[in-house]
Structure 1
């Protein structure tokens, strides 16, 4: 008995010790990588001392005496905060996720390798100016010195691997990543091809945006030729969405001139709508080289230059052009699939062996095949009927890294445009303001010169449909100091009719731009507070347009049950604002979705119906086109004997709306507040593992949020994951060219990507309340805001 007691006591002691050790290990795992922002270090290769001043949000303001010292310090500081995110993004661009996340990522890896991002990056690096190469080398050295000396973030320990040394080419890779992520044709155009198996071309044509109904253009003085889509019309990336590293597209920007500004000088606003996840896609930073450079804004973790922000002379911000930058080609291959038929002769396919190593220790042997246009993508698209290749703008020669380096140093409009001339594969409308009182907006897009509509699957057996080059930069639309006193864009149609080149069909509907311009016109002069209200605005022009249509149909029925009558009353009294508290917003959002789905559900197989839920742009444009033609074949439910009208569709959708909301939120319509249904959770890629999430506190939320995909403040959700916001403003900036110190900003996450850091998601609550923090720029204001000071010193022993 005593022996058993001694054994049990020993076991108990071992268990207690193990638990204590486990607690200490967890604490070490969580906190070991949290940097001390007040501690100074030696950084080899520095010529002079570098100061890093951080404010109450941990945002670094870096002061150096040379470019090489600056960028070495930038790399060091960024690695302190975002090292694992940098490595994750690098692995995406290289197609090497399987090595750390497992074989489930193999198809994603193969797709990313097919895009040949690093191959293009190497060419750009080879042809870059020496000062840019030097900057990238210094940045890489700063990252590597940090990796060599300090504990790694917990994600490396959890996944059991060591990061490799950072190289200059990896920074350029991130431009390719952004280019692919903002590409428009990959999903939608192939889905239209799949749709042809179930729906006639005449009906598919009704899903193609009729740009004549998109009344508002970014550049009203230019134009766009209409193309008859009906006569020419013929998923590996989901893994990136699941990881929270596909950032999607969208954005608002605008600027007002001094005559419309309360300060008498230009004000500029930008909020880029990207994926909402932790760590966030942007890293806030201020970079100063004495007498040479003074620039502040946001950078992509892994590259050193400010992507959007301001220097001492100019400010700039971006929105996606929504360019149709990818085309599919049906190829004819020989029997053993080693050649393709082109212009009357067999051409050799480029066949590239690939080995994908996995976390499980396996090696997947496969190959990629390329025509002169680009990769064969059947495997990625699960296409079995015909060989498909793609041509993608991201593989065309461009030099975005040159652009951002030069725009960081631009002094005026001419410098700005000269810098933007090589910003080709990430097509943007870039807003501009400067201290001399000028404002502008420049389209920077690699618009292909091509035959056809741009949306059909082209025959690949000849050069007829090959791209004939890109539209020269000098022919791209721009505005400079327009008489109206403002410029603006929101992913809407770029130009009205008359522009000689096809840009896209895939523009956002005009709701956001119309609301932005309505607010810009409401007041004679606007200030920073007005801009904040605009960026937080949740009044919907889509709701303003569609609610009367719905009400007209619904009021034709006079015997609604009590719940339906109460929901109808909410719509009748609504001001079209999607606040968290609004019940009418809830009814509208569900009803709008139900109408879109009921228009198409009876025509499609269950598989394509699920897929079209991810193609909301097609559904929204279908409804716009159906409203213009109430005889559309989409309206009638082919599963019934009767011929339904649009009124019938809306009424049935309303019944289903009330049923769904009663099930979700209860029978009392007053309890149907939008924020109860519409929520946002800040997710970390590893937060899907519950144990890790609890131990490391990776995810935060859910939070009730206002707005929707059609409001200026966009908490966007997918119809495949209802009401769970996953996209929105990835940053909000308001720049005051009259005094840069009056500028304000916010991001939805925080400076640090380390979950145990106090700066991991410290800006989230402010962001959700549409609050901002100061964005100090002058040395005096930066020093007033400084909470932490680090000095990086050269090695005195050399």
Structure 2
């Protein structure tokens, strides 16, 4: 017995020691990488001291005496806060995720390698100006100095690896990452190709947007001189069937001139809509060299220049143009798949051997093949029968790194336009305002010139459908100081139908832009407080359009239950504002989604039905097509003997809506608040592992949120993961050109990517409550707001 007691006591002591050691190790992993923002440090190769002030949000304001010292400090400071994220993004662009996450990532790695992002980046680096190269080299030096001398964030220790040295080319790679993330057509064109087997041509056509249903243009008054029109190969009217956009690529921007501003000076607003995850895609930073550079705004972790923000003279912000920038081609290969047929001749495929190392210790040998257009992508699209190649705008000649470098230094509209003319692969409508009182909007995009309607997969054995070039910058639309006193864009239709080049046919349905312009026109003059309300606006033009249609159908229904009648009353008394507390919002959002599904699910296979729910824009265009009064083969349910009308579909969908909401929340309609089902969780890539999430507090949420994908303040979700928010405003900025210190900003995450930091997701709740924090710019205000100060000194 005594022996047993001693054994048990020994085991207990051992357990205590193990638990204590585990706790100490956990705390070490959590906290070792936390920087001391008040600690002065030596930084190799500096020529002068650099001051880093941080405000209460931990945002760095860096004051240096020269450019090389500035960018060394930027690299060092960014590594302090976002080291693992920088390495992760680098690995994405290089196709090296398998090394740290395992062989499940092999296909992803091969896809990213097939895009040849780094190959293009190396070409850009070779042709970049000495000033840009020097800045990227200095940034790399700051990053590398940090990883040599500091503990690593916990993700490196959890995954068991060490980051490699940073190189200038890695910063340029991140532009390629953004170009791919915002690209159009990768999913939709293949999907349309596949469902042709299941539906008739008329049904396919109704998924294609009729731009008569989308009359709101970004540049309504833009025209080209007549001699330019005569030179073009295509007219927009020849491309009515073009598809090619992925659903979650939205943004808003607008600016008002001094005559419409309460301050008498232009005010500019921007909120780019991207995936919401932790750490966030943007890093807030302010960079200053007295008398030479003073710029603040958003940088991508791993890239040192401000992507969107303001300097002493100008402010700028971006929205996606929605260019159709990707095409597929069917290729004819010879027997051993080493050649492809092109214009009657067999051409050699470019064959590239790839070795992918995995976390498990394996080396996987694979082969990538390329035509002159781009990679063969069958394996990535699960297409077994037909060899497919792809041409993508991201591989075309462009120089976005030059653009952002020059934007940071631009003084006027002329400088601005010179800077953005090389912003091609990441097609954006860039809004502009300056201290001299000017406002403008410039389409900076790579718009391919090609034949065909674009909706089909092109035959690859002919040069007929090859791109003939890119629309010259001088012929892209723009506005400067329009009489109306404002400019605005929200991914809507770019130009009127007489513009001679085809841009796209799959723009965002103009719900957001119509509401933005409605609010801008409500008052003679607007101020910052009005811009704040616009960023926080949840009134839906889509709901305003469809709710009366739904109510008309429900009024004719004679067999509604008491719960259904109560839900109908909520819709009838609704003001179309999607608040957290609104029950009508829950009814409308579920009903609209049910109508979409009931229109298509009887026509499609299970696989295609799931796929079309991931292409929500197609369903929106189908709904607009039906609403415009067209007859549709989609309406009748082929699984019933009756012939259904659109009203029948609405009533059936409404009953299913009430059934769903009752099952989720209960039969008391007064409790059907939208926020009970429409929720948002800010997630970290490693947060999918429950033990890691619990140990390191990686995720936050869920939070009940208002709005939807069609409101100016967007909290968007996929129809394949209903009401779980995955996209939204990745930042909100309001820039006051008359007093830069009065500007305001917020991001949904925080400065730090280290989960135990006080600045990890510390802005999230303010973001969810539509609050902002100050954005100090003058040195006086920066020093007044400083909570921390660090000096970086030469060796």
State TM-score, norm by structure 2: 0.97
- Give distance in 2, aligned partners of 1:40 and 1:233: 55
Report the alpha carbon displacement of residue 362 of structure 1 after superposing the two structures with TM.
1.4
The structural deviation recorded for 1:233 is 9.2
- Residue in 1 aligned with 2:458? 458
- Mean CA deviation greater in 194-203 or 396-405: 194-203
* Residues 485-500 of structure 1 mapped to structure 2, 5 A cutoff: 485-500=485-500
Looking at structure 2, the residues matched to 737 and 68 of structure 1 have their Cα atoms a distance apart, in angstroms, of 28
In the other structure, the counterpart of 2:159 is: 159
Greater alpha carbon shift after TM alignment, 311-320 vs 11-20: 11-20
Counterparts of 1:8 and 1:492 in 2: how far apart (Å)?
Answer: 71
Q: Paired residue for 1:322? A: 322
The verdict on how the C-alpha distance between 1:675 and 1:225 changes in structure 2, with shifts beyond 3 A counting, is farther
Matched, 1:643 2:647: no
Which residue is 1:23 aligned to? 23
List aligned pairs for 1:302-701, cutoff 5 A: 302-701=302-701
Q: How far is the alpha carbon of 1:230 from its aligned partner? A: 7.5
- 1:626 match: secondary structure: helix
2:144 pairs with 1:148: no
User: For residues 78 and 32 of structure 2, what CA distance do their matches in structure 1 show?
Assistant: 17
Q: Does 1:216 align with 2:216?
A: yes
- DSSP-derived class of the 2:601 partner: helix
The number of residues matched between the two structures is 785
SS in 1 for 2:297: strand
Whether 2:197 is the aligned partner of 1:197: answer yes
Q: Distance in 2 between matches of 1:184 and 1:553?
A: 36
Q: 1:567 to 1:231 in 2, by over 3 A?
A: closer
1:762, 1:472 → 2: CA distance? 44
Could you give the per-residue CA deviations for residues 89-140 of structure 1, whole angstroms, max 9, x where no partner exists?
A: 0000000101101111111111000000000000000100000000000000
What is the alpha-carbon distance in structure 2 between the residues aligned to residue 650 and residue 351 of structure 1?
A: 53
| 8 Å contact from structure 2 (residues 242, 504) kept in 1 | no
Answer with 98-107 or 1-10: which moved more.
Answer: 1-10
Look up the SS of the partner of 1:185 in the other structure: coil
Correspondence for 2:766: 766
Residues in 1 aligned to 2:791 and 2:261: alpha-carbon distance in whole angstroms:
40
Q: In 1, Cα distance between the equivalents of 2:794 and 2:609?
A: 62
- SS of 1:280's partner is coil
Residue 637 and residue 688 in structure 1: after superposition, are their counterparts in 2 closer, same or farther (change >3 A)? same
Aligned partners of 1:59, 1:247: CA distance in 2, in Å?
32
The answer to whether the 8 Å contact 2:64/2:70 transfers is yes
Cα distance in structure 2, aligned partners of 1:659 and 1:699: 32
> In structure 1, what is the equivalent of residue 32 of structure 2?
32
Q: Distance in 1 between matches of 2:517 and 2:44?
A: 52
Are the counterparts in 1 of residues 243 and 505 from structure 2 also a CA contact under 8 Å?
A: no
* TM-score (norm. length: structure 1): 0.97
Equivalent residue runs for 1:36-47 within 5 Å: 36-47=36-47
CA distance in 2, matches of 1:532, 1:767: 12
Matches within 5 A, 1:169-184: 169-184=169-184
1: distance between equivalents of 2:578 and 2:5? Answer: 67
Q: How does 1:265-276 map to 2 (within 5 A)?
A: 265-276=265-276
Secondary structure, in 3 states, of the residue corresponding to 1:48?
Answer: coil
Q: CA distance change for structure 1 residues 517 and 290 in 2, over 3 Å: closer, same or farther?
A: same
Do the aligned residues in 1 keep the contact of 2:242 with 2:454 (CA within 8 Å)? Answer: no
Q: How far apart in 2 are the matches of 1:231 and 1:721?
A: 28
CA distance in 1, matches of 2:240, 2:491: 24
Partner Cα distance (2:66, 2:43) in 1: 14
Residue 502 of structure 2 aligns to a residue whose secondary structure is: coil
Structure 1's 287 and 74: CA in aligned 2 closer, same or farther, altered over 3 A? same
Q: Which runs of 5+ in 1 are unaligned?
A: 238-245
Cα gap change, 1:203 to 1:247, in 2 (>3 Å): closer
Decide whether the 8 Å contact of 1:675 with 1:704 is kept in 2.
yes
Task: Indicate conservation of the 8 Å contact 1:43/1:794, yes or no.
Answer: yes
Aligned-residue CA RMSD in angstroms? 1.4
Residue 133 of structure 1 is matched in structure 2 by 133
Distance 1:425 1:374, change over 3 A: same
In the TM superposition, what is the alpha-carbon distance from 1:247 to its structure 2 partner? 11
- After TM superposition, give the deviation of residue 685 of structure 1 in Å: 0.2
Relative distance call for 1:550 and 1:33 in structure 2 (3 A) is same
TM-aligned CA distance change 1:479 to 1:156, over 3 Å: same
Distance in 1 of aligned mates of 2:592 and 2:667: 20
Of 11-20 and 277-286, more deviation after overlay is shown by: 11-20
Supply the distance in 1 between the matched residues of 2:496 and 2:453 (Cα, whole angstroms). Answer: 17
Alpha carbons 1:208, 1:229 under 8 Å: kept: no
